[in-house]
Amino acid sequence: MNSVEQHLKEFPYQIILGSNSPRRQELLKSLGFTFLNKPINADESFPIDLLAEEIALYLAEKKADAYAEDLKDTEILITADTIVWCEGKVFNKPANFIEGKKMLETLSGKMHEVFTGVCLKSGNKQTTFYDVSKVYFKKLKPEEIEYYLINFTPYDKAGGYGVQDWLGYIAIDKIEGSFYNVMGLPVKELYQELIKF
């Protein structure tokens, strides 16, 4: 057994992922850690004076605070929140087709930023961090936007799209920064922070 394998096997904490997102579950599993998944349903409102990464960090902490059980010192709860930021405005999950269409029309032909805030919390300590990626979209045709919203119903995704599905394939010219951060979890930073914890 090599040292990385041993480190992952002997990781001294029980990891709990507080997320409904199948993408976050898949990414954490791919990192090699074993974990329990306990989704948290937290209210996702935030103070209107917060900007960009402040929103993602605030919501990640809010989700951690909404965890219903008492955390032991030997447990680490991971919560995260991803937002899309474009032209000084936040784009969370669209409520419906009309909102999704408006979002994608705004992102079309432009660069936007994707911020993911992450909170790690145990019984006796807490740390937060974030990552940012720049995503460049080509100009989208109205029929492409409509096809996507009807067939892929991306209403659980910040900005109204998934980087790993059809719109990601046809719309993204380039990404500066982590692809996985756009998916919803900055795995490189998360790995480093868990090892440090």
Domain boundaries, the chain: 3-196
User: What pLDDT, on the 0 to 100 scale, is given for residue 88?
Assistant: 95
Please give the backbone phi and psi of residue 154, each rounded to the nearest 5 degrees, phi first. -85, 50
Sort 11 into a burial class: Cβ within 10 Å, 0-12 / 13-18 / 19+.
middle
Sort 121 into a burial class: Cβ within 10 Å, 0-12 / 13-18 / 19+.
buried
Catalytic positions: 81
| From the candidate CATH numbers 2.60.40.10, 3.90.950.10, 3.40.50.170, 1.10.40.50, the one assigned to the domain spanning 3-196 | 3.90.950.10
Q: How far apart are CA 3 and CA 9, in angstroms?
A: 10
User: What pLDDT, on the 0 to 100 scale, is given for residue 129?
Assistant: 98
Structure token digits, residue 187: 């795995």
- pLDDT, tens digit only, all 197 positions of the chain: 677 777 677 788 999 999 989 999 999 999 988 999 999 989 999 999 999 999 999 999 999 999 988 899 999 999 999 999 999 999 989 999 999 999 999 999 999 999 999 999 999 999 999 999 999 999 999 999 999 999 998 999 999 999 999 999 999 999 999 999 999 999 999 999 998 88
Q: How far apart are CA 95 and CA 17, in angstroms?
A: 25
User: What pLDDT, on the 0 to 100 scale, is given for residue 1?
Assistant: 62
User: What pLDDT, on the 0 to 100 scale, is given for residue 12?
Assistant: 87
Q: Where are the beta strands (DSSP E) in 60-123?
A: 75-86, 89-91, 111-121
